[in-house]
Amino acid sequence: MQIPTWTKPGITGAIVGAIATMIVGFSQGGWYTTGSADRLAQQKAEVAVIDALLPVCISQSKLDPEGTAKLGQLVGMKTSYEQRDFVLKAGWATMPAAGEPNRELASKCADALVKSAAS
């Protein structure tokens, strides 16, 4: 049986085209592997949870009997690390059912409290 002469260039072109399609698809086309899609979903879920818990942290700071004095101390701190640690120690980033505070929530809560106090 004779194989046509165009077969080798046709197969090579198909392979190169498939590879080029995959490269463009994964880099620019928005395609994801299962692992990267799971990581992206996990990151977005964590951000959404922090955003949902932020009002609780702010309300806990308002319910604190020494909240006004503590807020003054918080605004006076220079770095965001100090502010985050202050919110952690104040207990505002500890949710009622949780045993320990959430660091990401404390950072976001400190930022929100400082911005609200500045305005």
* Residue-wise pLDDT tens digits, 63-110: 989 988 999 899 899 899 999 999 999 989 988 887 888 899 999 999
Q: State the pLDDT at residue 1.
A: 72
Q: Is residue 36 part of a domain?
A: no
Residue showing tokens 């992206």? 40
Q: Is residue 89 part of a domain?
A: yes
* Same domain? 55 vs 105: yes
Q: Other C-beta atoms within 10 Å of 51: how many? A: 11
Token representation of residue 118: 């500045």
CA gap 24, 82 in Å, rounded: 44
| Percentage above 70 pLDDT, the chain | 100
Token representation of residue 90: 């104040």
* pTM listed for this prediction: 0.69
What range defines the domain where residue 93 resides? 41-118
Q: Is residue 18 part of a domain?
A: yes
Residue 3 DSSP class? P
| Segment 4-47, tens digit of pLDDT | 888 889 999 999 999 999 999 988 988 999 999 999 999 999 99
Candidates 86, 48, 44; CA nearest to 113 is 86
